[in-house]
Every structure is written in structure tokens, then in C-alpha cells.
Copies of this chain bind each other. A is one copy, B any other.
Amino acid sequence: MKEHPTSLRVKLPVFVVVSQLVIVALFAVFVTYDDQADARLQGNGTVAMDNALYTDYPFFTDIQVMIFVGFGCLLAFLRQYGFGGMVFNFLTATFATQWAILVQGYFQFSHDGQIHLGLINVINAEFACAVVLISFGAVLGKTSPLQLLVMALLEVPVFAATEWAVLTYLKINDAGGSILIHLFACYFGLGVTFVLYRPRLNEGHAKEASGYRSDMLSAVGTLILWVFWPSFNSVLSLRGDDQHRAVLHTFLGLSASTLTAFALSAALNKGGKLTMADVQNVTLAGGVTVGATADMMISPAGAYALGAVGGAACMLGYRYLSPFLARRLRIQDQCGIHNLHGLTGLISSVAGICAILAASEEVYGPSLYETFAHRAPVEGDPKLLELRQQIPGLRAGLGRTAREQALYQVAALVFTVVVSVIGGVLTGFVLKLPCLGSPPDELCFDDDLFFDVPHDYEAPSPLSNKCTTDDSSV
């Protein structure tokens, strides 16, 4: 009997086992422990509690909860694709993180021919993983697990190389990753989904509907992401007041966008009723819009205003822009990542540029040159010596002016968007390879295709066929 083209029986094990052999071989040859994890490097004066584990681990677990539990639940909003949303998120996240440990390790954590592994690498890899999962949102329900793994396989190196180039050559400020994470992930995902365009899905799909219980679980995912977002935006900030501000601003931004989401959901939906899709997504917009400025002195009011603006942009995007993109530009953005990560990422980046232009010693004091490290005077500048009397360990910088720093931010933004679109489109073509087992249109959003579902899976409500005509709002 010939194997069905979407059957995972042979393809998935082959891909996974080959990947695992390659990964374990690369680990064996190239990966060793970093200073914080290597027993041999603990010397006479090592104080156990000064280990980086104790500053990093609480943030690490928060981000783990966001990625595996929060994202997993959020993506389970479709009534007949809950397994797919949650479980393919799990599979993709696990694979992307392993792969990112190696690829990012090569770019950022290697010396003497070895990648030096500590918890900090894993945290960075989780960011790369978040990038892949955001892009996943564009193609949810329309891709096989194998396609998702291949997407991760290709997206992680493109991301890691972009990140490395931006951090090494452009040297930007981007605490919450608005440019490198949200914009990259969004435009990569849109590039992929553009190539994977399925015209028949624009007419609606019987199974592309959320359900009452699946909407509840998805909302739990939103709440988990909401609660831990301050950790996400602050984990890579400078320790101390910078990180403290990043936490406060993220909380305020999310609070503002949540209220905006409720207000606009009631204003724009028929009958003045709230929709769960808005509650699940738009409430989170503020976390992205404060991202680039999270550690800066933008004032509490500034963070609040940014959150409200982000929520409004995200909501209007869902309402007016997404249908336009799908019908006119062939961009079918399943979860609306362009609204939650693209528009908000752009707003955040612009806000970051404004905040950089406005930053002055008057507001920041000498720690201006810590928050904006590249504006610190170059080694040998007498101003540096003067500053070091106030901040003893201050590192020499590049002596950039605010304007120069702002221009580098613009350059990074343009570069990131261009690379991500190209990367996404090329990846999309790879994903069209027939051997990757893309689901046929009629089996999209259907857990029965890839899972041995329980007996109560079917039992469709008598209303479910109506979905084709009036349920395209999710």
C-alpha cells in the first residue's frame, strides 16, 4: 500500500533522527561549558551564589512558560485544531531552540573554536525560538509539522546572521527586540505565507472557527503571555534601574493596550459585542510597542501612551488591514501577526528613534552612557575619564551622537525588514516541496490529519457548515 503524501510515518522520523544525529555530533565536537558552568574553572575565590544562574534563571523560567505554555495555549484557539496549535508549537519550539543554541552559539558565543554554553545562550536561543513561533502564526493550520521544522531549520540561521550583523556592525538599542525579534519574525512569516498562498481559503473554511472551550484556553495563553511579558522585555537589559524601568514600562504599556483593546472591540464589532480574538491578541500589543524603549527614560506617561497607540493600531489592523492583505496582496496571515508584531514593531521602532534623539545627560545623568553604550566617548577621550569618576567601570564606546545612533537604528530597521522578507519568500518556496507533505485545502485546520484523535473529536455541531459563509473574522 502506498503511503499517503501527508503521512508522517517515514518523513518525520527521518528528518528528526537525522537532525538529532547532526545536533549531537555538533554538540560533541564544538560545544563545551562556559565559565559559569564548568567545574574546572571554579577557582579559589569563586562565590557560588555569584553564579550567573541566579540572576538569569528566574527570567529564563518566565520565558520558558511564555513560549511553551503561553504560546501553546494561545495558538490552540481553533476548535478542531487545538492539538495542532499546541503540539506543533511544542515541537517547533524545542527544535528551534536546540538549533539556535548551535547557530547563535557559532555567531555570538564561540571562541577558541568552541561554543561556550551557559544559561545565557539558552535565553538567547529562546528569543530565536520566539521568532520562529511568531512566524508560525502566519501559517497556522496550513502547514505540516515537517514544513514547520524545515521553516525553523532555515529561519534560525537567517535570524542569527541578521542579529549578529546588526549587533556587530550597526550596534543598536533594542531592549525588547522590536526590530530584531518582532519585525524580523513578522516579515519573515509574511514572506512565507505569501508564497504558500491558497486562494480557496479566502472564501472561508468550515473548520477555520474557534470554539467556546478553545477560546477559553487560548485566553489563558494570552493571560500567561501578558503576565510574563515584562520578563521578556527586560531580561537582556542592563541590570539595575534599566531593568527596573523595562519591567515598569512593559506593565504600563500592556495595561493601556488592554483597555484600548476592550474599547475598540466593543466599538467596532457588530452589536457592540466583544470578540475573544480581540481579547486574545490586541491586549498584548502594548508589550511590543514599548519594546524598543523599554529601558529608556520615556516616563510612565510615555509608556502608557505607547501602549494605547499600539493597541489601537493593532485593532485597526485586524479590522481593516488583514482582510485587505489577504484579498489584494495574497498575504493570508492566519493569526494576524502583522497587526500584533508588524505594526506595533514599527511603532516601537519609531518611538525608539524619538527617545534616542531626545535622550540627554540632563535626564539620564552620566548613566546615559550606560543605557546608550555606543554614545559613550571613545577610549582616550578626556570626557571618558571624567565620566569614570562618576561611574567607575564605564566602558569606552563609539562616541556616537544621538543623531548618529538614530540613523543606525533606521539602518537596522530597513536591513532587518529586507532580509526577513527575502528569507521568508525563499523559505516559502522550499516549503512548497511536495515531499514536505503540505495539507490539502480541505484538511487544513483539522487535527484528524496528523493526530490519532479521541472518539469525541468529530461530533460537529449542526451549525458548523454555516461557518463557511459567515465566520471569517477569527
Which residues of A are in contact with B by a Cβ distance under 8 Å? 3-4, 7-10, 12-13, 16-17, 19-20, 23-25, 27-28, 31-33, 36-44, 46, 48-49, 51-55, 57-58, 61-62, 64-65, 68-69, 72-73, 76, 79, 82-83, 86-87, 90-91, 94-95, 97-98, 117-119, 122, 145, 209-217, 219-220, 223-224, 226-228, 230-231, 238-245, 247-248, 251-252, 254-256, 258-260, 262-264, 266-267, 269-276, 279, 283, 297, 299-301, 304-305, 308, 363-365, 367-368, 371, 389-392, 447, 450-459, 461, 463-464, 466-467, 471, 473
Contact = CB atoms under 8 A, between A and B. Distances in A.
Interchain residue pairs A-B with the least CB separation, the first 9: A9-B272, A48-B240, A7-B272, A16-B263, A27-B301, A28-B301, A40-B365, A8-B266, A48-B239
A125 to B, nearest CB: 10
Contacts of A10: 267, 272
A246 B301 CA distance: 36
Nearest to A308: B20
Contact of A305 (B24, B55, B87, B363): B24
A214 B223 CA distance: 17
Given A16-B262, A304-B24, A365-B40, A274 B450 contact: yes
A463 B12 CA distance: 30
10 contacts: A12-B272, A53-B244, A61-B228, A76-B216, A83-B276, A90-B283, A98-B256, A209-B454, A217-B217, A452-B473
A393 to B, nearest CB: 10
